[in-house]
Structure 1
């Protein structure tokens, strides 16, 4: 008797697709605790949110750099780690964490930040995890000193670990979030699609492509439309993919209402763009790691705003077109000329500065390109380096200085906190 066919979609992808078809935005926290009891309580709280939610287990810093011995000693001492040490906890404990919590109506993603995640991925495959994320570029350049060729080779092996599982595992590219801010949309889109192509090349079918909210809602709407169009073109007809948006990952507003306005802006952006999943931030991001309760508050708020936006959103909208799609397409097609496969093409393109993340100090990144926020809040290239991209043409983006860089890093913090202060003044509170 033949073996039953593997499920067409991963459990994670099935849940996201079903929620989207029901008109619900999937919301997700960034949450991780070292001990199983607290982490399990966090997952249960997220599962009980009034909305479509998926769980997150964020991995600790020791595990990210494969220092599992230090993670084990920290567990023995009862140290307060900044995440869940999957490998150090062991497979039986991680299965206990997920048992009775993860399921068809509540898949769980493990988020890590590792450039060399082979041991982590092997453990996740053995415990039956639903999803994880990262990529050969997006988890190498910002977070490590690992040479890009080594990370690319390691990620090829890791993709095959996931692809060999009988039950499909979902893999999300982090390519649309490089450095969190000040990377123009065309490069974020190109990197996310290229990493998605890399995953497909190494046997994975269930994937998501990402984009991080920037400084202009109009520009972000155009960018998300371009990302969706390019993913459809490049990921293949047999791939199951969706888009995930990240609430702004740069310097966050300091006032609670400013932070909630930032989150609200990202939720409305997600709904208007047709994005399926949103990674939220909380009101305390500017100060510390949020508690379980603060994460739940943010998720409940996001779900309510999403429902409100769906009720009020117009049936159609005219997107401005500034060439983001064309520029991202050019970056993708030209990159593929630098190698015989996607991995070698990525390595070759970065070695020649043809792909170049602004302000990224990794030794395999040329760091000759620069970006700036113009007076309208639009993020533009100010120096292209060797990349085939267009610099600002009279929109006010000029050469970046140390002072202007600091000002740009705080752009959204000032913008959303200023709205709160102006509102408080109008109400006679200040």
Structure 2
């Protein structure tokens, strides 16, 4: 391929089309190829996904090999432990300049995945030193930063010009839900700067749909503005919205409404790409056909939406808070990795409800009566709480908050649908 993941998305944006993408990964190469084929020829502007299995994410390759030998299905594609020729055959005639494929994995130690992806001709992946460390395990943050620095450098080295390798930060999806958007935006931008510092010149910045559409729109617009302000001019970048990553509606109708809402959010806020979820999310791993229907439904919702509503408000609360986090963090060191380590060690970045040993654990968030995410406690972070202390959630209130979005869309009155 002579094109790149980033240039494909940029071309779609110029044509006024939202790129939609599934989270799709199967251990059977034939089923994986079928999923990519159906994605490529869906009635939508699509890119492909190879989502890897959880053993590969954890680096447990013995478990992968045992499962493959026993014929036990995995929950994703075992890219590292399958023969290179098999994956090249899977991709042959599918992955090209009209249909780039991204490797999605979730690993705090990405080097082996980067090498395997490069060996089969893929140069787009995602993650980050913070976002693929804190919520997912016990890898020390210092180790994750070092491993991700090497992973970025390997990707740049193994996909040399004219190829333009692409990295998407997962920072805007940190914890999945109940994290106020200013912190999500800041981590997404900081991880993108980290990628650039380690040789990557094509990046995307993520944001996961949260609990309030107006707050989400301000967040995506803030992310876009900050990317324009902080990323070097020779870096190509775009923003990607994730359909809500928390507890998903249990009814097919509720799931469809939430998916459509995320597509309209992406268009209104000017995002170029959307990662979709399906009607099956609350019950099981979706089928290929359910993924394709979700892609096509999101594409229709995007086409029927009202379009972008203008530039970011310079006085946006989300923009101001995110910029504060970014400036304080970068003030610790010119090296972004060291700056992140110092910020977390001092509690200047502190993810609510995250139990990782390298997270201070003094911040707490809540959902107010209007559905917006607020800070109740901020610990040593450089922002003040914007909700009173008596809004600290009990365990019962936390469980209700975790289900609030699913319940709202499952029970939305018919007259409010579009």
For normalisation by structure 1, the TM-score amounts to 0.93
Deviations 1:87-126 (A, max 9, x none): 1112221211211100111000010000111111111122
Contact 2:213 2:265 in 1 (8 A): yes
Please name the residue that 2:144 is paired with. Answer: 151
Contact 1:221 1:319 in 2 (8 A): no
Q: 1:202 Cα deviation (Å)? A: 0.4
Contact 1:26 1:278 in 2 (8 A): yes
**Matches of 1:105 and 1:314 in 2, distance apart?**
25
Q: Please, which of 258, 261, 282 is the counterpart of residue 262 of structure 1?
A: 258
Contact 1:372 1:397 in 2 (8 A): no
Deviations 1:45-86 (A, max 9, x none): 000111100001100011001111211121111111000011
**Matches of 2:308 and 2:132 in 1, distance apart?**
37
Contact 1:135 1:174 in 2 (8 A): yes
Unmatched runs of 5 consecutive residues or more in structure 2: none
Unmatched runs of 5 consecutive residues or more in structure 1: 1-5, 425-430
Please name the residue that 1:121 is paired with. Answer: 114
Q: 1:423 Cα deviation (Å)? A: 3.3
Q: Please, which of 203, 222, 229 is the counterpart of residue 225 of structure 2?
A: 229
**Matches of 1:96 and 1:76 in 2, distance apart?**
20
Equivalenced residues, count:
413
Contact 2:217 2:265 in 1 (8 A): yes
Other structure's SS at 1:387 match: coil
For normalisation by structure 2, the TM-score amounts to 0.95
* Change in CA separation of 1:119 and 1:31 when aligned onto 2, cut-off 3 Å: same
Which ranges of 4 or more aligned residues in structure 1 deviate by more than 2 Å? 312-322, 337-340
Q: 1:289 Cα deviation (Å)? A: 0.6
Please name the residue that 2:321 is paired with. Answer: 327
Q: Please, which of 354, 360, 385 is the counterpart of residue 354 of structure 2?
A: 360
Please name the residue that 1:61 is paired with. Answer: 54
Please name the residue that 1:185 is paired with. Answer: 181
Please name the residue that 1:290 is paired with. Answer: 286
Residue 376 of structure 2 corresponds to residue 382 of structure 1: yes
Please name the residue that 1:106 is paired with. Answer: 99
Contact 1:107 1:130 in 2 (8 A): no
Contact 2:374 2:387 in 1 (8 A): no
Residue 88 of structure 2 corresponds to residue 92 of structure 1: no
Contact 2:8 2:97 in 1 (8 A): yes
**Higher mean C-alpha displacement, 291-300 vs 338-347:** 338-347
**Matches of 1:145 and 1:269 in 2, distance apart?**
34
**Matches of 1:397 and 1:220 in 2, distance apart?**
25
**Higher mean C-alpha displacement, 288-297 vs 119-128:** 119-128
Q: Please, which of 123, 128, 133 is the counterpart of residue 126 of structure 2?
A: 133
Please name the residue that 1:253 is paired with. Answer: 249
Please name the residue that 1:78 is paired with. Answer: 71
Deviations 1:221-270 (A, max 9, x none): 11111100101111111110000000000011111100100001100000
Contact 1:222 1:320 in 2 (8 A): no
